[in-house]
C-alpha cells in the first residue's frame, strides 16, 4: 500500500459525503414543497398536521445535510500524502482482522477490489487503534488485534 491508495480512499469518501449532501438537500426541498402544496381543507387540523410533518421532515434532512457537510470538511482537512509511524486520522491500517481508513464513519466499502472499513476517529474500533504502530496489538470486543501494516 502507498499514499496513492490513501488519496483514492479519501476521494471515494468525499464522493459519498457529497452524495449524502445532495440527497439531503433534495429531500429538504421535496419536504418543503409538500408542506407548501398541502391544500387547506375544511378539516383545518389535517392541513396544519401536514404542514408540521413537512417541516419536521425538512428539519431532519437539514440536520443530515449539516452532518455530512461537517464530516466532509473534516475529511478534506486530512493530510494523506505521507505516512505516520503511528495511527492518526488519515491513516490506512491493515490489521489481522481487516483494513481500515481512519477518516469518516462510512461503513465498509470495496475500493479497487479491497474491502475497507471507513472509521470515524470517534468510532469504538478507531479509539484503541489511534496511536498504535506497526506490530502493535490491542484488545477490541475481548479479542486481540494486531496492526500489520500502516500507511
Query: What residue ranges do the domains of the chain occupy?
Result: 3-76, 92-150
When pLDDT is cut at 50, 70 and 90, the band that residue 91 belongs to is very high
Weakest mean pLDDT among 45-54, 66-75, 113-122, 132-141 = 45-54
Confidence at residue 54, expressed as pLDDT on a 0 to 100 scale:
73
pLDDT of 39 over the 80 cut: no
pLDDT of 146 over the 60 cut: yes
Q: Which of 145, 150, 151 is nearest to 96 (CA)?
A: 145
Report the C-alpha dihedral over residues 69, 74, 76, 80, rounded to 10 degrees. Answer: -150
E strand intervals along 18-142: 92-95, 98-102, 107-111, 114-119, 137-140
Confidence at residue 83, expressed as pLDDT on a 0 to 100 scale:
87
The stretch 97-126 carries a mean pLDDT of 96
- Report CA 102 to chain centroid distance, whole Å: 10
Confidence at residue 57, expressed as pLDDT on a 0 to 100 scale:
82
C-alpha cell at 2: 502507498
**CA atoms of 16 and 99, how far apart (whole Å):** 19
Confidence at residue 85, expressed as pLDDT on a 0 to 100 scale:
95
Confidence at residue 112, expressed as pLDDT on a 0 to 100 scale:
94
Contact 21, 89 (CB under 8 A): no
When pLDDT is cut at 50, 70 and 90, the band that residue 47 belongs to is low
From the DSSP assignment, how many helices (H) and strands (E) are in the chain? Answer: 3, 6
Confidence at residue 20, expressed as pLDDT on a 0 to 100 scale:
93
Confidence at residue 40, expressed as pLDDT on a 0 to 100 scale:
52
Amino acid at each position: 500500500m502507498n499514499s496513492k491508495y490513501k488519496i483514492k480512499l479519501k476521494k471515494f469518501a468525499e464522493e459519498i459525503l457529497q452524495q449524502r449532501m445532495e440527497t439531503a438537500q433534495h429531500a429538504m426541498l421535496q419536504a418543503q414543497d409538500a408542506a407548501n402544496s398541502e391544500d387547506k381543507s375544511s378539516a383545518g387540523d389535517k392541513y396544519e398536521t401536514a404542514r408540521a410533518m413537512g417541516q419536521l421532515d425538512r428539519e431532519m434532512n437539514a440536520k443530515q445535510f449539516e452532518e455530512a457537510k461537517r464530516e466532509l470538511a473534516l475529511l478534506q482537512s486530512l493530510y494523506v500524502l505521507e505516512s505516520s509511524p503511528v495511527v492518526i486520522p488519515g491513516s490506512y491500517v491493515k490489521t489481522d482482522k481487516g483494513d481500515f481508513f481512519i477518516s469518516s464513519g462510512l461503513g465498509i466499502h470495496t475500493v479497487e477490489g479491497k474491502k475497507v472499513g471507513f472509521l470515524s476517529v470517534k468510532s469504538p474500533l478507531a479509539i484503541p487503534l489511534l496511536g498504535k504502530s506497526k506490530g502493535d496489538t490491542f484488545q477490541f470486543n475481548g479479542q486481540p488485534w494486531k496492526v500489520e501494516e500502516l500507511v
